[in-house]
Amino acid sequence: MSVNYDFTGKVVLVTGSSSGIGAATALLFAQSGANVVVTGRNADGVRKVAKQCTDESPKQLKPLEVVGDLTNESDCDRLIHSTVQKFGKLDVLVNNVGIAIRTDVYKQDFYENYKNLMQTNLNSVVYLTHKCVEHLAKTNGNIINISSNVSHMSAGNSVSAYNMSKAALDMFTKCMAAELGPKRIRVNSVNPGIVMSNFVTRMGVPEAIVHKIHDAIGAKYPVGRSGEGRDIANTVAYLASDTAAGFMTGSIVVADGGHLAANLSFEGESQQVLSQLK
């Protein structure tokens, strides 16, 4: 049985929504009647997702399209200004933007990679949240941060900086839930397991190997498969719904197909596949 949400009249901003989880999330909100803001660095991707949102919106609502880099504060400011200027308000902020860089602490470029990860995965979220509070307070809105189940894991396979960024994001989520509660702004996090998207290919991993990684890990998941963007979008929509999740804030919601529950590690089959890259 599918769950239908009604976000008619709501304004939803989804960062990193030109592909992957962000695109699936923007589409689900559009299908649920919301006015959606589609944003990312890839103009073609933004345009493609926005068209799909319009086509599948019950009233063919046209999303706001904003191309920008959220590690740039002026682009963040432009994104927020454009959203409020067009729609007059903001109800839901989905901080989905993120990158992954495989890097080892003993390598020459580790610290530069670490800074780039933190700038995208944490600092941009902090800045955007900071700037959106005044608007979300007016609508008793809410924030959903897209983290990762690796925030609960240590790893020795060149992803320590990424894991750290997501652990910090989880703590930011909980702190903001407590701090923004008096303003009636709810803040939650969704922590996916491995999800089929172009996220890993952007790390320089060939697509064929990405599929092998997903197949290898998904076969070990208790649900019998790796995740899809729609799986995470459904979790985001649940948390964004005041009717369904109005009593939830500060929650770290793991949606990982049983990855953590089964004590699975990236050091097994996936590491054998990744070793082909070294």
Assess contact for 122 and 168: CB atoms under 8 A.
yes
Assess contact for 239 and 253: CB atoms under 8 A.
yes
- HEC per residue, the chain: CCCCCCCCCCEEEECCCCCHHHHHHHHHHHHCCCEEEEEECCHHHHHHHHHHHHHHCCCCCCCEEEECCCCCHHHHHHHHHHHHHHHCCCCEEEECCCCCCCCCCCCCCHHHHHHHHHHHHHHHHHHHHHHHHHHHHHHCCEEEEECCHHHHCCCCCCCHHHHHHHHHHHHHHHHHHHHHHHHCCEEEEEEECCECCCCCHHHCCCHHHHHHHHHHHHCCCCCCCCECHHHHHHHHHHHHCHHHHCCCCCCEEEECCCCCCCCCCCCCHHHHHHHHHC
Q: Give me the catalytic one of 111, 114, 127, 162.
A: 162
Amino acid at 266: F
Q: Is residue 106 annotated as a catalytic residue, yes or no?
A: no
Active-site positions read 162
